[in-house]
Amino acid sequence: MNNLTRYLGLAAKILVFLLVLGFALKNSHPAVFYSYLGYVWQAPLIVMLGLAFALGVLAGVLALLPTLFRLRREAARKQPPETADTPTRTPDLPVV
């Protein structure tokens, strides 16, 4: 059963890769990006879409960082600190 799920996962990854590759080949015509101060950038459409996706992921991760750090601080406060002075209790072993 484990091998079957591994092969299905691999097949799904290959299918997604082929779909993205076909999308990239179909959208290879140039797109123009007009920015402020007269800056113009021309690149294939798939490059523009890939950059927009990457910038969106980066913005999402940056927006999530404050919450992540706050949750880590709260979790660290709730755990009691381990001290080396506290003796560890050994389990009661039968004497032979």
Give the number of other Cβ atoms within 10 Å of residue 79's Cβ.
Answer: 7
Q: What is the pLDDT of residues 27-69, one digit of tens each?
A: 888 999 998 999 999 998 888 888 999 999 999 999 999 999 9
pTM over 0.75: no
- The answer to whether 45 and 28 are in contact (CB under 8 A) is yes
Sign of the Cα pseudo-torsion (7, 12, 17, 18, in order) = positive
Q: What is the pLDDT of residues 1-17, one digit of tens each?
A: 788 899 999 999 999 99
